Amino acid sequence: MNYQNSIRIVSQSTLDTKFRQQFRRKKAFGLPGGSALWLAASKIALAVVFVVFCINLWLNFSITRGEQKIQAIEAARHQLREDQIILLAQRANMMSEKQVLKRAGEELALFVPEEKQVFKLR
């Protein structure tokens, strides 16, 4: 025969277990919905904050890059405007009567006849 030298006190509750669970003492600062719900909600909130932070970084980068492109375009436009002013001044100088007569004499050997020159008419 096998005897064990342990003493077990078996006590059975007279109340039903469901009834005992309903009347358990509630914590004063317990979270409604349980800790699993709040853990899941905090994970989701952390993921949302991370996504919003990444979107914010991307938008700031895009805005900065756009501003740099706009500044580069404005600088190029300003340079083109200055070049246009210089070219208009050169054109006005080249279109003057004095400049036309000078270039015609140099390149084509055409000169305006003076008063003492003879005109030959055919």
In angstroms, the CA 48 to CA 16 distance is 45
Residues 6+ apart with CB under 8 A from 105: 111
Task: Tell me the whole-structure pTM to 2 decimals.
Answer: 0.49
* Torsion over CA: 29, 33, 34, 37 (sign): negative
Q: What is the pLDDT of residues 45-90, one digit of tens each?
A: 999 999 999 999 999 999 999 999 999 999 999 999 999 999 999 9
Q: Give 38's pLDDT tier (boundaries 50, 70, 90).
A: confident
For residues 104-122, give the mean pLDDT: 78
Instruction: Please check whether residue 38 is in contact with residue 31, taking contact to mean a CB–CB distance below 8 angstroms.
Output: yes
Residue with tokens 């055409």: 110
- Identity of residue 14: T
